[in-house]
Amino acid sequence: MIFYRAASYLRYLILSGHRNGHGIHSPFVFDIVTKIFRNKSDTDIVLYIEKIRDKMISDTRVIRKNDLGTGSFRNGLDKNKKVSEIARYSSVPGKYGFILSVMAKEFGKPCIIELGTSLGISTMYMAMSSPETSVHTIEGCSETADIAAENFDRACIGNIRLHKGSFDEKLPEILDSCNLPGLVFIDGNHRKEPLLKYFNMIAERSGNGTVVIIDDISLSREMEQAWQEIKIHSKVSVTIDIYRMGIVFFRKGINSNHYVVRY
């Protein structure tokens, strides 16, 4: 696994470019890379969420981590987890929290869906950056969800709707209530077949303005295979690969293309 990820990252470094927009012929993608990626998050939001992360890193509680699917391989197979370990190794790093923040602000309306709440770090980045948007987040592990709920209360965030249960059970219900979501973040069940199933469900209910962000696309051969299939989905027009995350657009009227962007 370590060898595969090292080789995958080296390939990304060789193939990636366009950090400043050079070589991007699509005006839409050029604006994404040069304006949105280089936007500045609200400093107060970043500092506030990172303080909560620091508190979680210092949290010595041990919980029974019950992943209904397959969580990130970074956490190993032991079901008993320190909250500090989850915060350190599983929660989305601040660098990528920034991407979620600016994308939520730009594309979040009318609603945001997240598959995989964990401790709620990524959820808070999206919710605080788009305070008028309802953020629906699903977590299969009840004990993890309880800690995420504590964090949401601590941050006094009122636009998050936390759903405990499996993605198979909760996602269809949320898609029924959240017609044509603006932004969807998939960060759970890191296996090819479930990821493709959830992506296809979302694609069927997505509109021209929907954006899907998938975490850990380079984590394993299985995840990379899923990413390659997502790129050729009939509704997908443009994808942006920033190594850890893949960003998917369903925009009509623009030439289909796929970019690997140094981030």
Provide the 8-state DSSP code for 92. P
25 has a pLDDT exceeding 90: no
pLDDT of residue 65: 84
CA-nearest of 193, 233, 170, 190 to 248 is 233
Q: How far apart are the first and last CA of the chain?
A: 23
Per-residue confidence (pLDDT) for residue 18, from 0 to 100: 63
pLDDT tens-digit series, residues 187-216: 988 999 999 999 999 999 999 999 999 999
Does some domain include residue 128? yes
Q: Is residue 153 domain-resident?
A: yes
CATH code (residue 41): 3.40.50.150
Statement: residue 26 has pLDDT above 60? yes
For residue 236, which of 110, 228, 244 has the smallest C-alpha distance? 228
Does 171 map to a domain?
Answer: yes
The span from the CA of 184 to the CA of 111, in Å, is 9
* 7 pLDDT more than 80: yes
**Section 229-254 average pLDDT:** 95
The per-residue pLDDT for 9 is 81
The C-alpha atoms of residue 106 and residue 210 are separated, in whole angstroms, by 11
Average pLDDT rounded to a whole number, residues 141-156? 96
Other beta carbons within 10 angstroms of residue 256's beta carbon come to 13
| Whole-angstrom distance, CA of residue 43 vs CA of residue 179 | 31
**Residue 74: inside a domain:** no
| Confidence bin at 69 (pLDDT 50/70/90) | low
With CA atoms as reference, report the closest residue to 186 among 216, 215, 156, 146.
215
DSSP 8-state class, residue 36: I
Residue at 84 is within a domain: no
Q: 């979040």: which residue's tokens?
A: 108
Residue 230 in domain: yes
Q: Is the pLDDT at 72 greater than 60, yes or no?
A: no
**73 within some domain:** no
pTM score of the predicted model: 0.92
In a domain, 66, yes or no: no
How many domains does the chain divide into? 1
Residue-number span of the structural domain to which 182 is assigned: 2-55+92-260
* Angle 161-35-101 from CA coordinates, rounded to 5°: 20
- Look at 254 and 77; give whichever has higher pLDDT: 254
Mean pLDDT, residues 208-227 taken together: 96
